Structure 1
Amino acid sequence: MFERFTTSAREVVRGAVRHAEDTGSDTVGEAELLLALLDRTGSPAADALAALGAHGRRDSIERALAEVRRRGGISNADAEALAGLGMDVGEIVARVEEAHGVGALATGGAPARTPRRGKRPPRRPFAREAKSVLERSLRIALARGDKHIGDEHLLLSLTARPGIAAHVLADHDVTYVQVERALAARAES
């Protein structure tokens, strides 16, 4: 599958690994893939995200991803659904952090150990949901008749199914349908 990745898509994957390292996450997940896509410029996904205003709201997107991480992966949509059942996620997080310290529920784990001199740094595996994004990007590319997997397919894959990235993007007015339209408009110009 990776042999079909364009240079831009490979850079997104490498960027996601760097974001995981920066946040101390043990694995690469959807959030890191989204942040790596937001780092891009001059590519189909970057142009679509710019057209939809996501680049201008990057700080807000990063804060939303950090808040989801702090809540142990619970998105705003999940928190609202739980509130409908009488559960205050904010209160639960506050109580857990009071007892166990700030960030106790944060997903990602402890920072990786620093490698010894001459040793390679530890490899960050891809979380199940990130692997699903990569696999889905192949299916999306094939369905569109593309012989490659570009960063646009990764972005479409992130928005195609419910997940942390899709929820945060939807909260910032970026949905699968809007991404498809932005990509079509880019192709026409």
Structure 2
Amino acid sequence: MFERFTQGARDVVEGAVGHAERADAPTVTAEHLLLALLDAEGTKAAYALAELGVVERRSAVVAALAEARRRGGVSEADEAALAGLGIDVGAIVSRVEEAHGEGALGRTRTKRRRFTGHRPFDRESKGVLEQSLRVAIGRGDRTIGDEHLLLALAVRPGVVRDVLGAYGGSYDAVVRVLGGG
């Protein structure tokens, strides 16, 4: 599949690995892919994110991702659904942090693994890469560009999609800016 990636898409994947390494994360996540897309310049995804105002709100996007990580990956949509069942996520997070320290739910456990020379992609980020292939095929494109990675992030359920949508990068908005598809 990677042979179909454009240079822009390859740069995003490499950038995501760099974000994971700087964060000392055990794996590359969908969040790292989004951060790398926000770093991109001169590509279709960079254009779309700038046009939608997501780039200018980067610090708010980063803060929203950090807050979701602090809540153990529970998105605002998940929190609202749980509230409908009488579950107060904020209270749960507070109690866990009282007992185990601030950010306890956001900490990832690192498995002992042999050094392989690269940082693995987690299940969600692998799913984004696979989804980007489906998006490219669905749009009739022969290669996978960074715009396909952005569309895959915007369509796959989860925190990254929720944060993107909250800051103007919903799937429909990205499709509208990129045209067609």
TM-score per shorter chain, which class? over 0.9
| AA at the equivalent of 2:135 | I
1:127 match: 122
Contact 1:25 1:107 in 2 (8 A): no
CA distance in 2, matches of 1:177, 1:161: 13
List alignment gaps of at least 5 residues for structure 1. 114-119
2:161 maps to what in 1?
A: 166
Q: 2:104 & 2:151 partners in 1: Cα distance?
A: 32
- Of residues 147, 153, 161, the one that matches 1:152 is 147
Give TM-score scaled by structure 2 length: 0.92
Moved over 4 A (4+): none
Post-superposition offset of 1:161: 2.2
- Let me know the Cα RMSD of the aligned residues: 2.1
Shift of 1:121: 7.6
- Maintained 8 Å contact 1:136/1:157: yes
Partner of residue 51, structure 1: 51
Residues 8 and 43 of structure 1 are in contact (CA less than 8 Å); yes or no, is this contact kept in structure 2? yes
1:122 to partner: Cα distance: 4.8
Aligned pairs, number: 180
Q: What TM-score comes out, normalization by structure 1 length?
A: 0.89
Q: Distance in 2 between matches of 1:40 and 1:166?
A: 18
The Cα of 1:22 is off from its aligned counterpart by 1.9
Q: Is the 8 A contact 1:25 1:109 kept in 2?
A: no
**Contact 1:24/1:108, CA 8 A, preserved across alignment:** no
**8 Å Cα contact 1:71/1:93 also seen in 2:** yes
Instruction: Give per-residue Cα distances to partners, 1:68-112, cap 9 Å, x unaligned.
Output: 1111110111111111211111111111111011111115345x9
SS in 2 for 1:63: helix
Q: Does residue 71 of structure 2 align to residue 76 of structure 1?
A: no
Using the TM superposition, give the Cα deviation of residue 147 of structure 1 relative to its aligned residue in structure 2, in angstroms.
Answer: 0.9
Equivalent residues of 1:73, 1:107 under 8 A apart: no
Structure 2 residue ranges without an equivalent (≥5): none
Secondary structure, aligned partner of 2:129: helix
Code of the aligned partner of 2:37: L
Distance 1:90 1:80, change over 3 A: same
2:169 aligned counterpart, secondary structure? coil
Provide the secondary structure at the position in 2 that maps to 1:105: helix
- Measured at CA, do residues 141 and 107 of structure 1 come closer, stay the same or move farther in structure 2, by a change above 3 Å? farther
Shift of 1:174: 1.5
Aligned match of 2:103 = 103
**What is the alpha-carbon distance in structure 2 between the residues aligned to residue 81 and residue 46 of structure 1?**
32
> Quick one: which amino acid aligns to residue 5 of structure 1?
F
Closer, same or farther: CA 43–108 of 1 in aligned 2, 3 Å: farther
Structure 2 counterpart of 1:177, one-letter code:
D
CA distance in 2, matches of 1:107, 1:161: 23
Distance of 2:44 and 2:105 partners within structure 1: 35
